[in-house]
């Protein structure tokens, strides 16, 4: 029997947020798309971070992990490979193009960067369009300050030029919380292609399983949790959390993040008292968030999506360097009562102490936020793969 083939691309120059978002989509598509298309579904996730391939995928899916790149100044450079950026781009571009030419995907889903890094996706995009395959740009709900986002579209040749390469834009958020079509982050040619899906919250897959026989990392409740995403820029917040005084009877688990430098993790472990455990990573962060009495975290998309499906009180201290994505997300969610937020420059250990003592006595309901993006996306994908199929009623409420 013929199979429906899906390819998902993420560049992954910093952390694993893009690849984790695509992995969640892969599980949702593997679960729901066969019933919608009448065919088995297989897929390939193209990623740029070596740690991405450690996480399991649905049966019939696999990773293609490209040689890595990382940010250097205003551009990108090889993460490890001893060559220059142009050679690396050509190598990655050729690998992507060859993989998609062999698989001939029915649908290509691109996370955040429509042409890839330095245009590395353009040859594959042209081939995909010439074969009649669909192309979707998937975006987190917040891009950046509108002026900055507009300049990025201009550097790609303008919104109209980008839109000509796409069949749809999926915005992974709740339009009643934050809508980039209204803020100006999505110019009209792209806004006209855009549908908000709801946050990719409910139904996210578990991360890699714990090794057999390993004891759970969660402390005996009650406990408070500090989680720093990838951790590459989280040490300032971590120091405040380690220095804060814990509520009576509570323990503290701090997940530093796999990208935090080892010397910073060691420093935090040295500062921690007997009630605080500092780990570099954990396989079950969503479960840890759900079980915590209160959470202090940064404002990355995946952490927030995992938080929103719980009623755990949260203090979000967003990253503000380089991009305004995290502060804008935190402020929008604070405005609807989903969390509290503070700027790192105005936060002290005493503030964290005070917040923890207050937060552990409450819960935060978030029932009014749309968290069902992982249910909606398979229907949107099926409509692109089978253009004649009627739009399901449950998806129509998200349409522009």
Identify the domain containing residue 300 by its residue range: 223-359
In this structure, the answer to whether residues 352 and 376 fall within a common structural domain is: no
In this structure, the answer to whether residues 80 and 195 fall within a common structural domain is: yes
Distant-in-sequence contacts of 326-334, Cβ < 8 A, 24+ apart:
326/142, 326/298, 326/299, 326/300, 327/299, 328/142, 328/144, 328/145, 328/178, 329/141, 329/142, 329/178, 329/299, 329/301, 329/304, 330/299, 332/142, 332/177, 332/178, 333/177, 333/178, 333/304, 333/308
In this structure, the answer to whether residues 293 and 379 fall within a common structural domain is: no
Task: Tell me whether residue 215 is in a domain.
Answer: no
CB–CB of 49/68 below 8 Å? Answer: yes
d(C-alpha 48, C-alpha 69), whole Å: 7
Pairing of strands 194-196, 223-227: unpaired
Which helix (H) or strand (E) segment is 107 a member of? strand 107-111
Tens place of pLDDT for every residue, the chain, 400 residues? 689 999 999 998 877 889 999 999 999 999 999 999 999 999 999 999 888 888 999 999 999 999 999 888 778 999 899 999 999 999 999 999 999 999 999 999 999 999 999 999 999 999 999 999 999 999 999 999 999 999 999 999 999 999 999 999 999 999 999 999 999 999 999 999 999 999 999 999 987 655 543 346 899 999 999 999 989 899 999 999 999 999 999 999 999 998 899 999 999 999 999 999 999 999 889 999 999 999 999 999 999 999 999 999 999 999 988 799 999 999 999 999 999 999 999 999 999 999 999 999 999 999 999 999 999 999 999 999 975 344 444 443 333 3
In this structure, the answer to whether residues 104 and 43 fall within a common structural domain is: yes
Reported as a single tens digit per residue, the pLDDT across 218-243 is 999 999 999 999 898 999 999 999 99
In this structure, the answer to whether residues 349 and 376 fall within a common structural domain is: no
In this structure, the answer to whether residues 312 and 378 fall within a common structural domain is: no
Phi-psi region of 112 (alpha: psi -120 to 50; beta: other; left: phi over 0): left
| pTM score | 0.93
Task: Tell me whether residue 130 is in a domain.
Answer: yes
- Report the domain count for the chain: 2
- Nearest CA to 338 among 143, 177, 140, 139? 177
Task: Tell me whether residue 62 is in a domain.
Answer: yes
In this structure, the answer to whether residues 146 and 283 fall within a common structural domain is: no
In this structure, the answer to whether residues 231 and 149 fall within a common structural domain is: no
Q: Indicate which CATH number applies to the domain containing 348.
A: 3.40.50.2000
In this structure, the answer to whether residues 228 and 87 fall within a common structural domain is: no
């Amino acid at each position: 029997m013929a199979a429906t083939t899906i390819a998902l691309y993420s560049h992954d120059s910093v952390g694993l947020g893009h690849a984790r978002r695509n992995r969640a989509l892969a599980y949702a598509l593997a679960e729901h798309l066969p019933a919608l298309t009448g065919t088995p579904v297989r897929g390939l996730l193209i990623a740029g971070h070596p740690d991405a391939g450690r996480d399991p995928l649905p049966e019939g899916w696999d990773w293609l992990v490209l040689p890595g790149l990382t940010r250097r100044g205003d551009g990108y450079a090889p993460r490890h490979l001893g060559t220059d950026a142009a050679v690396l781009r050509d190598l990655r571009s050729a690998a992507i193009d060859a993989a998609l030419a062999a698989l001939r995907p029915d649908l290509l889903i691109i996370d955040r960067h429509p042409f890839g890094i330095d245009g590395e996706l353009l040859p594959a995009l042209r081939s995909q369009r010439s074969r009649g395959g669909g192309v979707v740009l998937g975006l987190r709900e917040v891009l950046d300050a509108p002026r900055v986002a507009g300049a990025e579209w201009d550097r790609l040749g303008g919104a109209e030029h980008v839109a000509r390469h796409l069949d749809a834009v999926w915005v992974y958020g709740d339009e009643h919380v934050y809508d980039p079509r209204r803020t100006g982050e999505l110019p009209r040619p792209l806004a006209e292609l855009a549908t908000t899906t709801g946050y990719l919250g409910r139904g996210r897959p578990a991360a890699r399983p714990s090794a057999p026989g390993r004891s759970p990392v969660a402390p005996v409740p009650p406990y408070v949790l500090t989680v720093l995403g990838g951790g590459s820029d989280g040490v300032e917040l971590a120091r405040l959390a380690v220095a804060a005084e814990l509520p009576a009877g509570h323990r503290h688990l701090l997940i530093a993040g796999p990208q935090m430098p080892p010397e910073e993790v060691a420093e935090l472990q040295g500062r921690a008292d007997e009630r605080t455990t500092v780990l570099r990573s954990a396989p079950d962060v969503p479960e840890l968030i759900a079980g915590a009495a209160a959470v202090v975290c940064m404002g990355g998309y995946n952490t927030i999506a995992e938080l929103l499906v719980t009623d755990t009180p949260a203090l979000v201290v967003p990253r503000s360097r380089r991009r305004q994505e995290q502060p804008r997300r935190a402020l929008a969610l604070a405005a609807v009562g989903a969390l509290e937020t503070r700027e790192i420059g105005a936060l002290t250990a005493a503030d964290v102490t005070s917040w923890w003592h207050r937060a552990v006595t409450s819960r935060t309901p978030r029932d009014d936020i749309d968290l069902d993006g992982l249910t909606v996306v398979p229907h949107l994908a099926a409509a692109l793969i089978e253009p004649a199929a009627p739009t399901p009623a449950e998806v129509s409420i998200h349409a522009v």
